[in-house]
Structure 1
Amino acid sequence: MIALFRRDLRLALAGGGGAATGVIFFLAVVATVPFAIGPDLNLLSRIGPAILWIGALLSALLTLDRLFQADRDDGTLDLLVAGPLPLPLVVLAKCLAHWAAAGLPLVLAAPLLGLVLALSPQAIGAVTLTLLAGTPAITLIGAMGAAVAVALPRGGLLVSVLVLPLAIPILIFGVLATYGAVNDPDPFLAPFLVLCALTLFFGVLGPLAAGAALKAGAD
């Protein structure tokens, strides 16, 4: 499992597509918003956490189709399905590598983009913390969609459609927790704990469901 994680991480970083594409798209989304709503810094600071979360979600969806497609194209996926490592662990290793290459750069970029949106230091810290807790869940949900779509012609186009409805609760509780950290009457801990619970839940369900889908596709 560790060897598979290292292999996928090395390939993702060597390819240069995952991290670079996601961060550039994240930057494009965030940089476009001030042009759309005007230079009102108070308004930007109020809606900034939601903008960062929406940008991170869309950027994460952009790279999910690569989870299994390259391995299917070169035949590696067949070897993984037939190999000794249980498929849920294969999926978990690939998800961790994908998040480290494409999801973690989004978390690291969030503080810099928060400055563009005139966020306070407390809001920037809350956005970064919630993204760190929530973006792994998006990858794990994406594994289910990618596993279903990998055997379909042009299945990559379907991944975002399959994943987005399931990722909406992650977005909701991530934004709620962020606003709770900067607005006194609103709670932070409760939505943040729900966000963490969703990540743990999909940490179990995602690999199991994706592994079953890959197995069914191979059969």
Structure 2
Amino acid sequence: MSGSLTTFTHLLRREGLLLARRPAALANPLVFFAVVATLFPLAIGADPGLLRQIAPGLVWVAAVLAVLLSLDSLFREDFEDGSLEQWALSPHGMLLPVLAKVLAHWLLSGLALCVLAPVLGLMLSLPASSLPVLMVTLALGTPVLTLLGAIGAALTVGLRRGGLLLAVLVLPLYIPVLILGSGALRAALQGLPVTGFVLWLASLAALTLTLAPWAIVAGLRISLNE
């Protein structure tokens, strides 16, 4: 157990360093998220009431698309340089490298979305009292989006221009997270309880964290055998 934990720590550190050397790849989803939330008020007007009404759906749609934008290249370099074959032949199997890669990706992109979201929420006239709900739901929802998206990325990693197919595969799976996340924020704006939404998101996060890594490994093995 301690050996696996040490290996996972080294893999996580390695993936974090590799991602840090590609700041543009990390910045693109954040810039997209910020641009969408910034340009939308310019298109519909600066009425605070209207912005507050559409903010829950807008923030979550922007977050979903930003996460999806970052997933096409998640395993692409490892596939092209032969790292996936080395993972498959490793005595530790593919599960630990996959978990390390997805966790590093979420820490440097999904978690950054959670930090950036309150600033954009204020730009959309969200009251300060609703910002903790926004951050909590994003902190629970973005790991689900990343893990589900990683399944699609694993299945399409061997395809040229697989981004469109990735979107077709993954977007239907994102609908429950989108509904729960925007519903929680909408309930917070209306002064209603948000506990049910948060618990459902936490349940989805636990279920996805339990099952998705195995599906990602299976998808990568399918791509390697094609």
Q: TM-score, normalised by structure 2?
A: 0.92
Identity of aligned residues (%): 42
Q: CA deviation at 1:153?
A: 2.4
Worse-superposed segment, 155-164 or 117-126? 155-164
Report the residue type matching 1:17 in the other structure: A
- State whether residues 89 and 207 of structure 1, in contact with CA within 8 Å, keep that contact through their aligned partners in structure 2: no
Unaligned runs of 5+ in 2: 1-7
Match of 1:33, as an amino acid?
Answer: F
For residues 86 and 164 of structure 2, what CA distance do their matches in structure 1 show?
25
Secondary structure of the 1:64 match is: coil
Whether the 8 Å contact between 1:19 and 1:105 is mirrored in structure 2 is no
- The 2-side partners of 1:160 and 1:203 are apart by 21
5+ unaligned residues in a row in structure 1: which ranges? none
Residue pair 2:130, 2:189 contacting (<8 A) in 1 also: yes
Task: Give the Cα–Cα distance (whole angstroms) in 2 for the partners of residues 84 and 200 of structure 1.
Answer: 27
Aligned to 2:125: 118
Q: Determine helix, strand or coil for the equivalent of 1:125.
A: helix
Q: Which runs of 4+ in 1 moved over 4 A?
A: none
Q: In the alignment, is the contact (CA less than 8 A) between 1:123 and 1:178 conserved in 2?
A: yes
Residue 205 of structure 2 aligns to a residue in which SS?
helix
Q: 1:177 aligns with which of 154, 159, 184?
A: 184
Find the partner of 2:210 among 200, 204, 215.
204
Please state how far the C-alpha of 1:192 moved relative to its aligned partner.
Answer: 0.9
Give SS of 1:44's match. Answer: helix
Structure 1 length normalisation: TM-score?
0.94
Aligned-partner Cα distance in 2 for 1:190–1:33: 29
Contact 2:155 2:222 in 1 (8 A): no
Report if aligned partners of 1:44, 1:117 keep a CA contact under 8 Å in 2: yes
> Are residue 7 (structure 1) and residue 17 (structure 2) matched?
no
How far has the Cα of 1:112 moved from its partner? 0.8
| SS at structure 2 position matched to 1:65 | coil
Task: Quote the RMSD (CA, aligned, Å).
Answer: 1.3
Q: Which residue of 1 aligns with 2:5?
A: none
- In 2: Cα distance, 1:170 partner to 1:101 partner: 20
How many residues matched?
218
Deviation of 1:52 (Å)? 1.1
Cα distance between partner residues in 2 of 1:196 and 1:148: 26
User: Contact 1:81–1:218 (CA<8 Å) still a contact in 2?
Assistant: no
